[in-house]
Amino acid sequence: MLVTIPLVLAVECQISTDNSTWVNVESTLLGGCVDDTNNISHIQNLDENTLYYIRCKDDTTDWGYTTQRTGESGEIPMASLAIVIFILTIILGLFVIPFKTRFAKSEILNDALKRCCWILALWLLSLSTAMVATIADNAGIELLSELFLFMWLINWGAYLFMFYVFFSFFLRVVQEMRDRSKMKRTGINE
């Protein structure tokens, strides 16, 4: 397993599993290297699902410490991708089904069921953003502030659209009740 660690002007890096016995990153055992140009240390030949303590020395001879847990290689990241694709397929289906299907003969009930599908899809979309962030974190992908801003925008967009769906349905039901009472008063039968 290969682990990449960002460094700050590191001159020397060491790694340990018990925080007492340290091995240089450049050792032949680990097969790692320190890239001084990009301030990145690459460490390979690590055990899966193990907590490693990493320390790097800068020009002032102070050690900076960090920890990194390696994940499991193999099909686990691919299983996470399959789950995300499955959830996104369900969300897309819930958005499309109300346009293709008539759920009930009653207009109000049909409209309510369509809007429930959209609200459920928006709720799943909101949850899937958190799921994607969790999967990215477990895969060791650095979560940037741009990703959280994107998730925040998706969630607020979903909440605003849910509010619109509820409010527009409420207005439609009120208008339908007014029309029916007006038709009843004037003697017009449906």
Per-residue pLDDT of 65-108, as tens digits, reads 666 666 555 545 566 777 888 888 998 998 899 899 898 888 88
The model's confidence at residue 54, banded by pLDDT at 50, 70 and 90, is confident
| Predicted pLDDT of residue 10 | 55
Sign of CA dihedral 127, 129, 134, 139: positive
Q: Is the pLDDT of residue 60 over 70?
A: no
Per-residue pLDDT of 111-166, as tens digits, reads 889 999 999 998 888 888 888 877 777 766 777 777 788 888 888 998 999 899 99
Tell me which residue of 90, 35, 95, 42 sits closest to 68, measured CA to CA. 42
Would you say the pTM of this structure is higher than 0.85? Answer: no
Q: Give the angle 139-145-149 at the CA atoms, nearest 5°.
A: 105
Per-residue pLDDT of 161-173, as tens digits, reads 989 999 999 999 8
Residue in the structure block whose two tokens are 């990703």: 147
